[in-house]
A and B are shown apart, each in its own frame.
Chain A
Amino acid sequence: MPQIFHRSANGIARFVLWGAQVAFLLVILVWTGLVRSEFFTEVARAPRQPVPFSHRHHVGELGIDCRYCHGGVETSASAGLPATEVCMTCHSQIWTNADMLAPVRESLASGEPLRWQRVHGLPDFVYFNHAIHIHKGVACETCHGDVDDMPLMMRAHSLTMGWCLSCHRDPEPNLRPPAEVFAMHWKPPEDIERVRKSLIDVLGIDTATMTDCYVCHR
């Protein structure tokens, strides 16, 4: 009885068996790399906005406080976006004919809101709360980066679960005195290690429960 397979079938079989394993590992490697890459986390990508609002100009050059526009940040989960009236508080008098600002004037006249595109959109099963972070000494720039140097708003960090957990597991390196939370490019004082240790107590940061599921998920 003749052989069914040619001798070379051995090589092919070995190639397929090993190749399948290598391909499997490759897929996992590429995938885990990809989901952490800026392509997926949308870091450093500025969505197209109805008005090219520049934080670099308003924060960096003019020094306007974050809370002038994001008024809910100290009291509620959402930091909030400014109403059209907030833009027009200044722009009813300056840059009144700028083409760039035409959508703002139209919004004020018609009552239709500006449709800003969300830059930091978390999944709906994450219940992030701005106020608690502000009151526990986590600064704006810790998560939002050098906003005062962004001509167009973009994500500075991935905001993945792993990224959040890296701080929830060990918050100390990211803490600062609450009075400095809104400061940009804050320079920690010499004795910052001691200050951070005491902040855990002073601000009542419960490190034991900070990685419990219910803290972020309901």
Chain B
Amino acid sequence: MTGRRLALVLLVAALAGCDQKMADQPRYDPLEASSEFPDGMSARTPVAGTVARDADLSATPTAMPFPVTMKLLQRGRERFDIFCAPCHSVAGDGDGIVVERGFPAPPTYHQPALRAASDRHIYDVITDGYGAMYSYAARVPPADRWAIVAYVRALQYARNAPVAELPAQLRARLDGEAGG
């Protein structure tokens, strides 16, 4: 009897020692620190030369590979406003808020040299960076880079668009604002 009672006490004590730690399970949260690796990161970068299973291995197109639709332009505008506008400004003049705070001013998109530059040049600058500008390859995937290229082209065209090409509604507004 005493033996059984002792066993019961031990069992209860053993169970009380069980801690399931459901709130902190033995797995990594995204970007959690790890003591297993010398640099302390659980998020490992792929070995050099790794190719993703779904990677597009075709050569980078030399010109805009997508039809320029309103959808593409809207995507380009959204990405441009997130990643480019802080320096290049929403209109592409190169006087964004970060430039106001002391970052070296990038050239305006509206200068002749950049108006004449190829689509691929703009794409490559996003991919590799240029001068003080860092690479955006890790932040902007290729399809979005082309969308941004399309939008940059739209910004350039907008500065030089013939008034005759404006839709009636915009034309009326322009005339109204110019007159007022």
Q: Which residues of A contact B (CB under 8 A)?
A: 62-65, 67-68, 71, 77-78, 80-81, 83, 85-86, 88-90, 92-94, 111-113, 115, 118, 121, 123-125
Contact between chains at A68 and B86 (CB < 8 Å): yes
Residues of chain B lying within 8 A (CB to CB) of residue A63: 97
Chain A CB within 8 A of B59 CB: no
Contact between chains at B101 and A83 (CB < 8 Å): no
Q: Which of B26-58 contact A (CB under 8 A)?
A: 27, 29-31, 33, 39-41
Complex Cα spacing A136 to B78, Å? 18
Contact between chains at A62 and B98 (CB < 8 Å): yes
Greatest chain A CB density within 10 A among B22, B23, B27 is at B23
Residues of chain A lying within 8 A (CB to CB) of residue B18: none
Q: Which of B66-103 contact A (CB under 8 A)?
A: 81-83, 86, 97-98, 101-103
The total number of A-B Cβ pairs within 8 Å is 63
Chain A CB within 8 A of B2 CB: no
Query: Which stretch in B116-124, B132-140, B166-174 binds the other chain?
Result: B132-140
Interface of A is mostly: loop
Complex Cα spacing A190 to B55, Å? 47
Contact between chains at B103 and A81 (CB < 8 Å): no
Q: Give chain B nearest CB distance to A68 CB in angstroms.
A: 6
Contact between chains at A125 and B138 (CB < 8 Å): no
Quick one: closest A residue to B136, CB to CB? A89
